[in-house]
Amino acid sequence: MKTMNPLAPIPPSTTETSANLHWHNSFAHLQNDFFTRLVPSTLPSPYWVGRSLQAAQSLGLDTAWLASDEALQALTGNLVLPGSEPLASVYSGHQFGVWAGQLGDGRAILLGEIQTSAQPLRTQEIQLKGAGRTPYSRGGDGRAVLRSSIREFLCSEAMHGLGIPTTRALCVTGSDAVVRREALETAAVVTRSAPSFIRFGHFEHFSYNDQHTQLQTLTDYVIDRHYPACRDSTKFNGNPYAALLEAVSERTAHMVAQWQAVGFCHGVMNTDNMSILGLTIDYGPFQFLDGFNPAHICNHSDSQGRYAYNKQPNVAYWNLFCLGQALLPLISTTEGDQELTLAALESYKTVFPSAMEARMRAKLGLTAPQPPDRAVIESILQLLSTTHVDYTIFWRRLSNYMAQMAHAPTNAANAEPLRDLFLDRAAFDAWLLQYSEHINAVDMAQAADLMLKTNPKFVLRNHLGEQAIRAAHLKDFSEIDRLLKLLESPFDEHPGFEAYADFPPDWASGIEISCSS
Ligand code: AMP
Ligand code: MG
């Protein structure tokens, strides 16, 4: 690990590089308590594994630069671009329900923030994951392996394609440098971007260490940059920190509702993996459900099922409660007074269920809310969970069914692909009757249109990622490109790629993904 000389002059905060990047490193200009300055460790002979031109465009990057050797070296950590002020930040967190103490960026290095060309103008942090040891590595090697880097890259862009708030991934570079996990593997680096990588755990860190001045500096920084409306809020006696807690609770509720609706399991919802911006962050043993099993556990290391699919909404609230506890010194000025903090958390309990219901209504094409919607939603989820029918395929076929009904409402064959999914045809027919009676009033074409934009044809199933990883280990990266294209527009039909929207093969159920990455 190479640590920067703290007395060395800090490079200017705005500098043009050959990549034409404009750096504005506001986090690096907070006091040193929040991070350690250092440079990434080098990796020998890097090569491109995957690149997202869409992510590049969203950052305002010149795509020609992304093909250059300078970019390859810089995004592997072998070259520090002028204007970048690399650092690793410190945070703590609760892992699997237990206070884990100090964690921090053990293998992620923030390069700085770049000014994007987006309107209104905003900055994006650029981070390298797997860029070598930091003072927070706690015995780890600071590296990420190729397989988990490919999964994070593809899933970040897949979630963005689905319209789910997420950190983005610009690229993955690989090296033949060996990394030891259960077996010997090779190292890779993912370049991620987000308006901020600050997590609940950052606040917990300073609160648990009774560093309330730093806690306030950090919270003010986040409010000023990302939640300015909290300053003017008149709710909670005008307390901006309570307003922040409420705003984060609401964003988190919307994010988790989107996860549940699309069948996404995060796998490691520790408080250090919860973004203060309500973004999906730190893709590890995630999974999109195949057959619908609400109790599904995607993380092979999660023996108790703490982070099972159907536990995610409650775990998010538990995590927000930890954030509330961390912000308590700023929200409750009187000793023992927790009222405002609890009031700020309350919003999750109303926003999550209503966001969830809105998502499910959209999946069913129910364009105007009506009281019986809930019964139809509950009955289909009940039927799917007892039959374990493939979640993504069911919703897509239902959307196609509605599209066909809009054109040929009397064709009895319309329902056949849907019925074929259920062994218990009578149970399915009963539900379809209930649904049909309920949607009688809606405009079928409008409903189908909404459903085809809500229920994706393509999700990053484990076996698809696995196939891309196996090919990548043989230095064939074409499958990553193919998958990326499908996942960037998962609601489009993509003729010729039906196999990617098909049922998982039998071997998929044997894939075990753990925290090892
Ligand atoms: P994660 O489970 O990936 O969210 O990581 C939890 C904590 O462990 C974070 O502080 C990571 O930075 C750290 N960590 C994970 N893997 C490594 C590694 N190979 N080397 C150093 N730190 C790591
Ligand atoms: Mg993490």
Q: Is residue 313 part of a domain?
A: yes
**Amino acid (one-letter) located at 444:** M
Shared domain for 435 and 357, answered yes or no, is no
461 lines ligand 1 (CB under 6 A): no
Q: Is 502 a catalytic residue?
A: no
Q: Residue 241: is it exposed, middle or buried by C-beta count within 10 angstroms (0-12/13-18/19+)?
A: buried
180 contact partners, CB below 8 Å, separation of at least 6: 141
Is residue 89 lining ligand 1, measured as CB closer than 6 Å?
no
Q: Which of 105, 272, 282, 290 is catalytic?
A: 272
The end-to-end CA distance of the chain, in Å, is: 20
Q: Is the pLDDT of residue 422 over 70?
A: yes
Measured between alpha carbons, how far is 53 from 170 in angstroms, rounded to an integer?
Answer: 8
Evaluate: CB of 131 within 6 angstroms of ligand 1. no
Shared-domain flag, residues 234 and 310: yes
Q: For residue range 233-287, what is the model confidence (pLDDT) as tens digits?
A: 999 999 999 999 999 999 999 999 999 999 999 999 999 999 999 999 999 999 9
Residue 509 lies in a domain: no
Tell which one of 95, 129, 138, 302 to mutate to probe ligand 1, the residue whose CB is within 8 A of the most ligand atoms: 138
pLDDT at 194 over 70: yes
Please answer whether residues 116 and 60 qualify as being in contact, where contact means their C-beta atoms are separated by less than 8 angstroms.
Answer: yes
- My answer on whether 272 and 344 are in the same domain is yes
Same domain, 69 and 135: yes
Please state, in angstroms and rounded to a whole number, the distance separating the CA atoms of residues 199 and 205.
Answer: 10
Structure tokens at 65: 């630069």
Q: Are 58 and 192 contained in the same domain? A: yes
The answer to the question of residue 515 being in a domain is no
Same domain, 155 and 173: yes
Is residue 511 in a domain?
no
Q: What is the pLDDT of residues 456-487, one digit of tens each?
A: 999 999 999 999 999 999 999 999 999 999 99
Which of these, 430, 441, 443, lies nearest to 402 by C-alpha position? 443
Domain boundary residue, one of 329, 362, 395:
362
Q: 118 falls in which pLDDT band (50, 70, 90)?
A: confident
Number of separate domains in the chain: 3
Give bridge partners of residue 125 from the DSSP assignment: 113, 194
pLDDT of residue 336: 66
Which H helix or E strand runs over 87?
strand 87-89
Confidence check: pLDDT of 17 > 80: no
- Of 269, 274, 275, the residue nearest 308 (C-alpha): 269
Residue type, 45: S
Q: Which atom of ligand 1 is nearest to the CA of 144?
A: 19
Residue identifier of the C-alpha nearest atom 8 of ligand 1: 106
Kind and range of the H or E run holding 155: helix 146-162
120 upstream amide cis, omega within 30 of 0: yes
Furthest C-alpha separation in the chain: 78
Structural domain for 344, as ranges: 226-362
Counting atoms of ligand 1 from 1, which one is nearest the CA of 103?
10
187, 77: one domain: yes
Task: Please indicate, yes or no, if residue 190 is contained in any of the structural domains.
Answer: yes
Last residue in a domain, options 393, 422, 452: 452
pLDDT digits (tens, 9 = 90+) for 167-178: 999 999 999 999
Distance (Å) from CA 282 to ligand 2 centroid: 5
Task: Tell whether 500 is covered by a domain.
Answer: no
Please identify, among 300, 332, 362, the residue that sits at the C-terminal boundary of a domain: 362
On whether both 177 and 190 belong to a single domain, the answer is: yes
For ligand 1, say whether the CB of 311 is within 6 Å of any of its atoms.
Answer: no
- pTM of the full predicted structure? 0.95
Residue 488 lies in a domain: no
Helix (H, G, I), strand (E, B) or coil at 288: strand
- Kindly report the backbone phi and psi dihedral angles of residue 36, in degrees, each rounded to the nearest multiple of 5, phi listed first: -125, 130
Assess if residue 12 is contained within a domain: no
Q: Which amino acid belongs to residue 144? A: A
Same domain, 137 and 191: yes
Residues 242 and 189 in one domain: no
Residues 168 and 87 in one domain: yes
Whether residues 414 and 350 fall in one domain: no
The overall average pLDDT reported for the chain is 94
Q: Which of 198, 1, 146 is nearest to 480 (CA)?
A: 146
Question: Residue 7: how many CB atoms within 10 A of its CB?
Answer: 5
